């Protein structure tokens, strides 16, 4: 073998059956081969398991999928390159011209965009309701054949709680699929409800360190099978290296999530006592209008604490600019704390009516609480609140 050939066929190093890597390797390979054409054909006919081309599946992606399915309490999962990627691919795979979708004002902006503007171009219609309007959901389902109901809980940014049992019961009775973007609550929550599809951004709590993106859809085996071919064709795969980093992040998921929730509760309580704060939105506080529902549905109340400053948009800007430990950045669920103002959440085309219905005010602030020492975060917040309050009405 000449050297140009050798570099393309390097020596194979295989572990013996009694010798194992403690951390699974990254299968950074696009292609996988079977020993014969016959076995390849059997694989392509679906008659044997295996891996062939990483756009469809890859052992590192598969390890992540199987772990996430188990955490969410379902049989199967597909991962893709981002949370939005997985939402787009799932919606495209499940809808066709003439279908009707129910979605909510209190949802992630790109999800609404996908339904209203992208699916809308292909003849899919929608009804946009408030997550609190269960009567509206019931009425719409009675009036119009509906393909799916897509919702979130807690909602972004003011942590309204969806009544998951009621929404899934109504959807099921009407023959509609239910789809819960469970990103805020995490993989260990809401699995006991009759949700058909769970969506997650892996960019958030799964990786935890804010250095990798990914998304997952988790469901019963037959519901995932219904997506598999379209996911391969749409091509938004998760790279094996990203899958490896997310698997690494998941090792500390529970300790991170619980520590961050404990800090979030302390911070929410303290904010509730501050004179510059008109209202705190945190489902773990007894004053939250849906605290009882949250306590029934959730084991942990999450790491997002939102609140409305009395001083409106100007105070919100002064507050956010004065923070030192909170990065002025989108996203959530990272080990470092983050802050966004209502204006930063609104996107390029603020839709005033939607914002009002979603209970976002000019002075709304969303904090994502990280893993820093809670006392340091509280001191930073106190200082920034004093700065926000420095010149009321200015
Ligand atoms: C509830 C929710 N769903 C989906 C996404 C999208 O995830 P990604 O940024 O991984 O595309 C986000 C991102 O902020 C989110 O908050």
Pocket mutation for ligand 1, best pick of 110, 183, 368 (most atoms within 8 Å of C-beta): 183
Q: What number of helices (H) and strands (E) belong to the chain? A: 16, 12
In short, whether 210's Cβ falls inside 6 Å of ligand 1 is no
Pocket mutation for ligand 1, best pick of 84, 210, 239 (most atoms within 8 Å of C-beta): 84
pLDDT value of residue 352 = 67
Q: Which atom of ligand 1 is nearest to the CA of 332?
A: 14
In short, whether 377's Cβ falls inside 6 Å of ligand 1 is no
Tens digit of each residue's pLDDT (9 = 90 or more) over 311-348 = 999 999 999 999 999 999 999 999 999 999 988 876 54
In short, whether 207's Cβ falls inside 6 Å of ligand 1 is no
Burial status of residue 349 (CB atoms within 10 A of its CB: 0-12, 13-18, 19 or more): exposed
Tell me the HSE value of 285 on the side-chain side, using a 13 A CA sphere.
26
**Other Cβ atoms closer than 10 A to 6:** 10
Burial status of residue 46 (CB atoms within 10 A of its CB: 0-12, 13-18, 19 or more): exposed
pLDDT value of residue 348 = 46
Q: Is the pLDDT of residue 392 over 60?
A: no
In short, whether 106's Cβ falls inside 6 Å of ligand 1 is no
Tell me how far the alpha carbon of residue 284 lies from the centroid of ligand 1, in angstroms: 22
Task: Round to whole Å and give the CA distance between 62 and 65.
Answer: 5
Question: Percentage of residues in the chain with pLDDT exceeding 90?
Answer: 93
Q: Which residues pair with 149 in a beta bridge?
A: 102, 178
User: Mean pLDDT across the chain, nearest whole number?
Assistant: 95
Tell me the HSE value of 386 on the side-chain side, using a 13 A CA sphere.
6
pLDDT value of residue 345 = 78
- What phi and psi, each to the nearest 5 degrees, are found at residue 248? -65, -45
Tens digit of each residue's pLDDT (9 = 90 or more) over 259-302 = 999 999 999 999 999 999 999 999 999 999 999 999 999 999 99
Tens digit of each residue's pLDDT (9 = 90 or more) over 112-128 = 999 999 999 999 999 99
pLDDT value of residue 90 = 98
Q: Is the pLDDT of residue 349 over 60?
A: no
Using CA positions, which residue lies closest to atom 7 of ligand 1?
A: 83
Burial status of residue 97 (CB atoms within 10 A of its CB: 0-12, 13-18, 19 or more): exposed
In short, whether 182's Cβ falls inside 6 Å of ligand 1 is no
In short, whether 82's Cβ falls inside 6 Å of ligand 1 is yes
Q: Which atom of ligand 1 is nearest to the CA of 214?
A: 10
pLDDT value of residue 351 = 65
Q: Is the pLDDT of residue 390 over 90?
A: no
Tell me how far the alpha carbon of residue 163 lies from the centroid of ligand 1, in angstroms: 21
Tell me how far the alpha carbon of residue 79 lies from the centroid of ligand 1, in angstroms: 14
Tell me how far the alpha carbon of residue 87 lies from the centroid of ligand 1, in angstroms: 9
pLDDT value of residue 394 = 45
In short, whether 215's Cβ falls inside 6 Å of ligand 1 is yes
Q: Which atom of ligand 1 is nearest to the CA of 202?
A: 10
Rg (CA), the chain: 23
DSSP reduced 3-state for 237:
coil
In short, whether 213's Cβ falls inside 6 Å of ligand 1 is yes
Q: Is the pLDDT of residue 8 over 50?
A: yes
Tens digit of each residue's pLDDT (9 = 90 or more) over 30-75 = 999 999 999 999 999 999 999 999 999 999 999 999 999 999 999 9
Pocket mutation for ligand 1, best pick of 83, 162, 206, 329 (most atoms within 8 Å of C-beta): 83
Q: Which atom of ligand 1 is nearest to the CA of 87?
A: 4
Long-range contacts of 254-260 (CB under 8 A, 24+ apart): 254/188, 256/205, 256/208, 256/335, 256/371, 257/186, 257/188, 257/205, 257/300, 257/303, 258/300, 259/371, 260/303, 260/333, 260/369, 260/370, 260/371
Tens digit of each residue's pLDDT (9 = 90 or more) over 139-195 = 999 999 999 999 999 999 999 999 999 999 999 999 999 999 999 999 999 999 999
Tens digit of each residue's pLDDT (9 = 90 or more) over 185-234 = 999 999 999 999 999 999 999 999 999 999 999 999 999 999 999 999 99
Q: Is the pLDDT of residue 350 over 80?
A: no
């Amino acid at each position: 073998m000449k050297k140009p050939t050798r570099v393309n066929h390097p020596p194979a190093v295989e572990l013996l059956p009694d010798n194992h890597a403690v951390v699974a390797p990254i299968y950074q390979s696009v292609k996988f081969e079977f020993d014969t054409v016959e076995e390849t054909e059997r694989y392509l006919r679906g008659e044997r398991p295996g891996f062939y081309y990483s756009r469809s599946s890859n052992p590192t992606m598969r390890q992540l999928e199987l772990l996430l399915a188990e955490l969410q309490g379902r049989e199967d999962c597909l991962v893709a390159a981002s949370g939005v990627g997985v939402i787009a691919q799932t919606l495209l795979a499940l809808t066709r011209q003439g279908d009707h979708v129910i979605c909510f004002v209190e949802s992630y902006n790109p999800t609404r965009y996908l339904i209203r503007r992208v699916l809308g171009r292909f003849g899919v219609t929608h009804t946009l309701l408030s997550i609190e309007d269960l009567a509206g959901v019931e009425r719409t389902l009675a009036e119009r054949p509906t393909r799916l109901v897509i919702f979130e809980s807690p909602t972004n940014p003011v942590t309204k709680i969806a009544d998951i049992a009621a929404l899934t019961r109504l959807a099921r009775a009407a023959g509609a699929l239910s789809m819960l973007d469970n990103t805020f609550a995490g993989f260990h929550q809401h699995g006991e409800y009759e949700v058909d599809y769970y969506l997650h951004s892996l960019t958030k709590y799964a990786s935890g360190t804010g250095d990798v993106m990914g998304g997952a859809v988790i469901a019963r085996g037959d519901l995932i099978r219904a997506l598999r071919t379209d996911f391969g064709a749409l091509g938004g795969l998760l790279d094996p290296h990203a899958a490896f980093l997310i698997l690494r992040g998941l090792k500390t998921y529970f300790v991170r999530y619980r520590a961050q929730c404990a800090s979030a509760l302390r911070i929410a309580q303290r904010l509730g006592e501050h004179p510059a704060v008109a209202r705190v939105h945190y489902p773990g506080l007894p004053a939250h209008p849906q605290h009882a529902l949250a306590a029934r549905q959730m084991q942990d109340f999450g790491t997002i604490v939102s609140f409305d400053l009395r001083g409106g948009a100007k105070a919100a800007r002064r507050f956010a600019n004065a923070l030192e430990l909170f990065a002025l950045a989108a996203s959530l669920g990272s080990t470092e704390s983050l802050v966004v103002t209502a204006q930063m959440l609104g996107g390029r085309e603020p839709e005033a009516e939607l914002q009002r219905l979603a209970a976002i005010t000019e002075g709304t602030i969303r904090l994502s609480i990280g893993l820093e020492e809670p006392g340091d975060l509280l001191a930073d917040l106190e200082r920034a609140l004093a700065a926000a309050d420095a010149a009321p009405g200015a």
